[in-house]
Chains A and B, each alone.
Chain A
């Protein structure tokens, strides 16, 4: 199927894009890589009157180091993020998750900001964003504002980005020297996870001194598994402590039941995957 008719504009600056968004209001939809939006339009689940394409705004693309953060432009394609040495060095969890996201062709088109703005609870980037404490930089009429990952994800397909706002970039606090692992459980390799666990840990002298854990598809938004993190810090980096901490992965979750599995099944998976992810992130092998 093909989308319903719409008018199209491809501004070359952020200001023009914001102006177009203000002018057309809720009749407009932003187009990034189109890898989630175009399927929606083709199935006629949505029929905006205006499409505002961010693809010609160069300033929204790119990755840079800024103090204690790695900053990823919203329009940077997944394939660029996944191959970036700065991201690998300072936010290895992002590299690990991007490598498992979708397939090569979709990673060439789909963007880092587009995937996060889409806020699919099964999206692969939400868990890592929460585990790493990402900060979202959003532009609107009043200038730029910053939103923490804990406040960014509001509900299913709903974020803190307002109707006349645009996600500009995402700041990832550096986690240099931390180990990381993205455990994604799927039936078909290039599909969304049934459940996934993003884990990053810092181990010093055999003791866990830092931990960030995010859960995907265990509720209407990606979840930060604070119970697991609390249970780990200060403990020896051992299979026993990872197993004990993984038991707390179910706290605060509300997983869906669907064709791929029941809520109970997901509650079980989350614990198994958390144990595996922690062990692998700490360099203990598959757990």
Chain B
């Protein structure tokens, strides 16, 4: 067992854990933060994306012990005082989801993208979320949601090549 101390969604936590425990397991199974989901077993889908010290990571590909002393933000920590985060609002507004499984990761990655690049082009958005897979939407409404969240005009609702 190894002792870890960290801050998750603004709350200080400490636990004795097995070193092999993945960060996503720690969040879900120890802290009950099931908003962060597991979509694959290969670190490909991005559904488990959280912020570790302010940068997006795939929490299924980080050991919880590696997060010792760090600050973690999950999808559950984005809303403040009952107000959804602007990116959460935009996903709702633009219908940026269907089944919703990829959504926590998509939103966390979009927040990371907008931090670096507040006014991304459509191509920059698509590249920025290249590590997040969606099986439902074909990405169009997700891209629109990110455009909307960044205060830019949203791409027209037509099928392009």
* Interface of chain B: mostly helix, strand, loop or mixed: mixed
Residues of A within 8 A of B41 (CB): 1, 42-43
B20 in the interface (beta carbon within 8 A): yes
CB-based contact A190/B131 at 8 Å: yes
Give min CB distance, A48 to chain B, whole Å.
Answer: 11
CB-based contact A35/B130 at 8 Å: no
Interface residues on B, range: 20 to 34
CB-based contact A189/B55 at 8 Å: no
Q: Could you tell me the distance between the alpha carbons of A10 and B132 in the complex, rounded to whole angstroms?
A: 30
Q: Could you tell me the distance between the alpha carbons of A51 and B55 in the complex, rounded to whole angstroms?
A: 24
Q: Which residues of A line the B interface, CB within 8 A?
A: 1-8, 10, 31, 34-35, 38-39, 41-43, 51, 53, 55, 79, 102-106, 108-109, 189-190
CB-based contact B130/A104 at 8 Å: yes
CB-based contact A105/B63 at 8 Å: no
CB-based contact B62/A2 at 8 Å: no
Give min CB distance, B5 to chain A, whole Å.
Answer: 13
| Residue of B41, B46, B55, B63 with highest tally of chain A CB at under 10 A | B63
Residues of B within 8 A of A51 (CB): 19
Residues of A within 8 A of B66 (CB): 31, 34, 53, 55
A38 touches which of B43, B46, B55 (Cβ 8 Å): B43
B49 in the interface (beta carbon within 8 A): yes
Residues of B within 8 A of A190 (CB): 44, 130-131
Q: Given known contacts A34-B61, A39-B42, A109-B61, is B19 in contact with A7 (CB within 8 Å)?
A: yes
B76 in the interface (beta carbon within 8 A): no
Residues of B within 8 A of A8 (CB): 2, 19, 63, 65
Q: Given known contacts A103-B130, A105-B56, is B20 in contact with A5 (CB within 8 Å)?
A: yes
B131 touches which of A34, A38, A103 (Cβ 8 Å): A103
CB-based contact A38/B127 at 8 Å: no
CB-based contact A39/B65 at 8 Å: no
B74 in the interface (beta carbon within 8 A): no
Q: Could you tell me the distance between the alpha carbons of A104 and B52 in the complex, rounded to whole angstroms?
A: 13
Q: Could you tell me the distance between the alpha carbons of A6 and B22 in the complex, rounded to whole angstroms?
A: 13
CB-based contact A105/B58 at 8 Å: yes
CB-based contact A104/B20 at 8 Å: no
| Residue of A3, A42, A51, A104 with highest tally of chain B CB at under 10 A | A104
